Amino acid sequence: MMSLESIPIQAFLIVSSALFCIGIWGLLNSRNAVRVLMSIELMLNAVNINLMAFSSYIDNNLIQGQVFTIFVITVAAAEAAVGLAILLSLYRNRVTVDMESFNLLKW
Amino acid sequence: MSIAITTQIICFTILSLVILIGALGVVLLESIVYSAFLLGGVFMSVAGLYLLLNASFVAAAQVLVYVGAVNVLIIFAIMLVNKKEDLKPINDIKSRRIISTSICLTLLSLLIRVDLTNVWSLSSPENSIGEESTIRIGEHLFSDYLLPFEVASVLLLMAMIGAIVLARRDVMSKDISTGLPVDQELIEKSSEPLLTNKN
């Protein structure tokens, strides 16, 4: 049996790919607007896992990927705050969180 | 990392199983409240993966920001908009499901193919700074990433002000459409929503 020095980088990449695709599926199929925001958070986390894996395996001296992850976490926090504020104001005007009923911009 | 390889593999397997099953639960479960709590579990497990990758600072930031702030914010939003409503059925839901699922599976197979076939030029583990990563992140943030760091603070300020402006109720003495005085009580009365009679 082959002995491993450490976990292969491919394992991390596959987990993050699967998480990203689950996020996309949720984004496309959710009726509830809050669940859409949760799917976006899942996708951002998948990207973060990717960045962290590369920074640990390929750039393990300068770890610029970890700095990028910090910035992505910052932007994700701002995005969540603004997204939920938009959601609340939508709910106040339409009294629903159903994605199918937000069709004001539909041609 | 100083943990034995078997322990690392066991931890990695458990964490990734929790991440994937939790993420499936987030998108598939009927109740949105269960989804929100599962999302917290997914965030915690992602922080565990970061610990496996020798990044204790980012793991702590993940727990603080995602579990402590974003997840709590989502739970508050669910509390504010949680109303039982019967969703209108969509007539072409089945074809939509099939198309979106096939797109996701195609993307997943493409990504996994790239992950497995590409030859990654891994750096030697002797160069690794390991547990010193917090020091190195601090050096980065105050030297070559100083401008993005400062811009991020401006972004957070803008997001905070924008969220307050978007989410607050308008405090006006007169209603714009009817001209009647507005009651300024804290509890929201049921009022005629503005855009519902469209559609």
* pLDDT value at A81 more than 80: yes
Closest approach of A96 to chain B, Cα-based (Å): 8
B54 vs B194: CA distance, rounded Å: 52
| CB contact (8 A) between residue A25 and residue B53 | no
By Cβ distance, the residue of A14, A49, A58 closest to B121 is A58
> Residues for chain A: how many in total?
107
B85 vs A31: CA distance, rounded Å: 11
> How high is the mean pLDDT in each 10-residue block of chain B (199 residues)?
84 96 95 94 96 93 94 92 76 90 96 93 78 90 95 95 83 64 57 57
User: What is Dmax (Cα atoms) for chain A?
Assistant: 63
| Interface confidence (ipTM) of the complex | 0.93
Long-range own/partner contacts, residues B128-134 (CB < 8 A, 24 or more apart)? B128/A56, B128/A60, B128/A61, B128/B54, B129/A60, B129/A61, B129/A63, B130/B1, B130/B54, B131/B54, B131/B56, B133/A63, B133/A66, B133/B54, B133/B55, B133/B56, B133/B57, B134/B56, B134/B57
Span A49-68, pLDDT tens digits: 999 999 999 988 888 999 99
| CB contact (8 A) between residue B5 and residue A5 | yes
Q: Quick one: closest CA in A to B112, which residue?
A: A14
B33 vs B94: CA distance, rounded Å: 26
Q: Quick one: closest CA in A to B44, which residue?
A: A45
* pLDDT value at A2 more than 70: no
Which of chain B's residues have a Cβ under 8 Å away from the Cβ of A23? 23, 27
Instruction: List the one residue out of B170, B126, B103, B141 whose CA is nearest residue A5.
Output: B126
Closest approach of A54 to chain B, Cα-based (Å): 9
B150 vs A101: CA distance, rounded Å: 39
Which residue shows structure tokens 């603080």? B64
Q: What is the structure's pLDDT at B131?
A: 79
Does A73 touch chain B if contact means CB atoms closer than 8 Å? yes
Question: How crowded is residue B129: how many other Cβ atoms within 10 Å of its Cβ?
Answer: 14
Residues 6+ apart with CB under 8 A from B32: A32, A34, A35, B78, B82
| CB contact (8 A) between residue B74 and residue A57 | no
Which residue shows structure tokens 């839901």? B93
| CB contact (8 A) between residue A6 and residue B162 | no
By Cβ distance, the residue of B85, B140, B158 closest to A67 is B140
pTM of the predicted model as reported, rounded to 2 decimal places: 0.88
Q: Contact, A16 vs A47, CB < 8 A? A: yes
| CB contact (8 A) between residue B69 and residue A77 | yes
